[in-house]
Chains A and B, each alone.
Chain A
Amino acid sequence: METIFGLDLPTWWFLVVGGVFTGYAILDGFDLGAGALHLFFKKEESRRIALNAIGPVWDGNEVWLVIGGGALFAGFPVVYATVFSAFYELFMLFLVLLIFRAISIEFRSKEPMAWWRQLWDVSYSVSSIMLALSLGLVLGNIIQGLPIDDQFIYRGTVGDFFNPFSILMAITTLSLFMMHGAIYLVMKTENRLYAKLTVLVKNTTIFFVLMFALSTVYTLLYLPHMVERFKEVPMMFFFPVLTILAVANITRQITKRKYRFAFFSSAFVTAMLMALVAVGLFPNIVLSTIDSQFHIDIYNGSSTNKSLKIMLTFAAIGVPLVGLYTGFVFWTFRGKVKLDETSY
């Protein structure tokens, strides 16, 4: 088996896909969080500032989802095909919600009427909330496993997706994004909106810490397969310890009003939570609840080594480039939001 730095190619691609989805969660996470908080702002100007805080970047952030989907299709076509056809209704709704978020951002400031703006504000906020919830719901079901048979066919119904753990994960994801989004907005605003957001940051952080504790307890009690790896390889305890430290650091930075550090910490927490899921599942990606023989792992679900090698070359060239100009865009729009004639 071909390896690079001691890891085989499917493992590398697992890391790439995981990395891209983590990037998506961190980047679009604050967009969705900002959207979820949108209706807390009552004044027209506040709403426009909040919207323009994500204005120049949300489109680019959504691209990470497109790349993630492509990377999954490319490297793990069996996983992609099985998961996407299993979550049919959920993903169709997800797509429609993405469309609604996009058009709400684009269209709200195009007309001056109060009802028009209120309509799109509500649509923007509701679609952001539901997007965050459905991402959590999908993740919750992936963690628990799906009724997949030996032909990779999903044998459940859409109702099965709404189980206690997945709903818990959905709310946890929403709380994480709300906290993340609030911290992002507080860095981008001034004066009264800033003052209001400092309160929102506190409340959403309490909300998240609560949900984080609840879902951790639930996982420890009811999902032993997610804990096994940590027992096998004690080194892996590094991840949960770091996660808890990072969560603690968010609260510490918030009390000190160092919001930039708080933002990096909440981004780091997002990454760590994704890493915990990845460690728990690896080397499987889709667990079959019918029979463990039908699990789809990184080997029986992946493309050939030849194909993976081509794509890893792409990633090695492309990812630094994407990082470079994503950084450039964020740097160009650094600092507090100032509305001008180019704003939404």
Chain B
Amino acid sequence: MDTAFLSRIQFAFTVAFHYIYPPLSIGLGIVMVIMEAQYLRTGKEAYAQMTRFWIKIFALIFGIGVATGIVMEFEFGTNWAVYSRYVGDIFGSALAAEGIFAFALESGFLGILLFGWNRVSRRVHFFSTVMVALGSMFSAIWIVVANSWQQTPAGFRIEGKGLYARAVITDFWAMVFNPSSVERLSHVLLGSFLAGSFLVLSVNAYYLLRNRHVEIARKGFKIALVVATIGSLLQLFSGHKSADGVAHNQPAKLAAFEGHYEASAVADMYLLGWVDTKKQEVSGLKIPKGLSFLLYQDFNKPVTGLNAFKKEDQPKAVNFVFQTYHLMVAIGMTLIALTLLASFLWWKGNLFEQRWLLQIFAWSVLLPQLANQLGWYSAEVGRQPWVVYGLLRTSDALSQSLKASQVVFSLILFTLVYILLFGLFVYLLNKKIKHGPTDDYSGDYSDDIPDYSKRDNPILQ
């Protein structure tokens, strides 16, 4: 395998693994803010307990998110040096803003969230929670702005040639509000709210099924259900806007989403299917002329297909992009159905009597996670062969000094470490969840040091 392909695998693997965590912390952030606000408003201990509980889980998720996030920041330079020089002038200011405005805010106040319950007032603690939640969202803003610039570059000009070529910023706000950043940002944030709120739904459904922490679980479930319902409905609009934008800005990617090859023809929309890339055909369940209608509200309007582009400018893995995109959409629809049904039953007053539904919710945490991952796969693989759309090819972006053996070494290293990391994460998360938001049985070992050892031990430390 060549160095470029190995580097792509490594970046895809490390960023996909990283992306398990930030959406959870962004989503949990907003849920925690609501929980703690309820505590301040009502003074009920149940809200304080659930806030404390989710802060601990937030910290675990955030810790792994930070550790795996720094990897990306390094990889731009280590593996993609040409890309880094090319985009530095533009990408850099977004990354710098992320670090200084968002990340520092989040991690600075997290210390107070975790360790400050007995040291600051309730109000200051709540303020810290809001800052942490805001910080996590600010991070998303700058990272998505940078990524969107790669999809739809704006506010720049190209200087220099060959290895010395680089994009130079001409208009900062045009760069920030490039044609795709607002719709992609809202899509990412909503996806994150769903990831976080479904984790809370899942854990509380688990408690309810086992009749544990019933008061806390019911209250927590309702808070998360509100976030999840609003989130999944808004995601429908945001998703539609995004697809519209892709059709307009990156027609080759949209054509890959639907496996639409003909250069300019009325296009069908598939609910599910399989792309035969050799025959350039899709077989599956379709709405005839559906894509034309969805994009232009006109069944007979032609849509640009893959063959309108030169062979070397077409995404190669069309079936992969097709499948990931369609699965994401299907999961999105499932989430809407689930949350609407649960909200309806809540309104009817018998939500918590439906054990079958709680069973589904207990497992549902995987759905938004999966949709977030799949959505990014189709967005990034659909952008190929470009790393910066229309300007810089992925194959040209690699570090010149890099050898395949070096990437093999680091890829193996990361695979091993991430397997360990993920195993520990799941183990600890499971343990915290089993332990629950109250200390109703002793699973907390922080006081396990016998008193006599504290002062009178004759042996020095």
Which A residues are within 8 Å of any B CB, using their own CB? 41-46, 48, 55-57, 59-60, 62-63, 65-67, 69-71, 73-78, 80-89, 91-96, 98-100, 102-103, 106-107, 109-112, 151-155, 191-193, 195-196, 303-304, 306-307, 310-311, 314-315, 318-319, 321-322, 325-326, 328-329, 332-333, 339-343
Contact = CB atoms under 8 A, between A and B. Distances in A.
A85 B118 contact: no
Nearest to B172: A310
Contacts of B400: 85, 151-153
B448 interface: yes
Interface centre among A42, A86, A152 (most CB of B within 10 A): A152
B333 to A, nearest CB: 37
A85 B92 CA distance: 17
9 contacts: A66-B99, A74-B88, A75-B96, A87-B78, A88-B399, A92-B74, A99-B67, A306-B168, A325-B108
Interface string B437-456: 00000001111110001110
Interface of B: 60, 62-64, 66-71, 73-74, 76-79, 81-82, 84-85, 87-93, 95-101, 103-105, 107-112, 114-120, 131, 163, 166, 168-170, 172, 399-402, 406, 409-410, 413-414, 417, 421, 424, 428, 431, 444-449, 453-455, 457, 459-461
Contacts of A339: 446
Given A63-B104, A70-B73, A110-B431, A196 B96 contact: no
A73 B95 contact: yes
A48 B449 CA distance: 10
B417 A59 contact: no
Contacts of B96: 67, 70-71, 73-75, 311, 314-315
Contacts of B448: 112
Contacts of A98: 67, 70
Contact of A71 (B99, B115, B460): B99
A80 B118 contact: no
- Interface residues of A: mostly helix, strand, loop or mixed? helix
A99 to B, nearest CB: 4
A60 B111 contact: yes
B416 to A, nearest CB: 9
Given A56-B111, A74-B95, 6 more contacts: A66-B66, A81-B82, A85-B402, A88-B401, A152-B400, A310-B169
Contacts of A57: 111
B120 A332 contact: yes
B97 A314 contact: yes
Contact of B66 (A62, A109, A303, A329): A62
Contacts of A69: 70, 73-74, 99
A306 B417 CA distance: 41
B97 A103 contact: no
A65 B70 contact: yes
B85 A78 contact: yes
B428 A110 contact: yes
A55 B85 CA distance: 37
Contacts of B97: 314, 318
A333 to B, nearest CB: 7
B77 A60 contact: no
A81 B67 contact: no
Given A55-B115, A84-B74, A342-B117, A314 B402 contact: no
Contacts of A318: 97, 100-101, 104
A327 to B, nearest CB: 10
A325 B73 CA distance: 24
A83 B74 CA distance: 10
A33 to B, nearest CB: 17
Contact of B84 (A60, A73, A94, A342): A73
Contacts of B424: 103, 107
Nearest to A322: B104
B169 A59 contact: no
Contacts of B414: 92, 96
A89 B457 CA distance: 46
Contacts of A84: 74, 76-78, 81, 84
A92 B410 contact: yes
A297 to B, nearest CB: 15
B88 A88 contact: no
Interface centre among A152, A307, A321, A341 (most CB of B within 10 A): A307
B166 to A, nearest CB: 8
A123 B428 CA distance: 18
A342 B169 contact: no
Contact of A80 (B84, B101, B103): B84
A341 B446 contact: yes
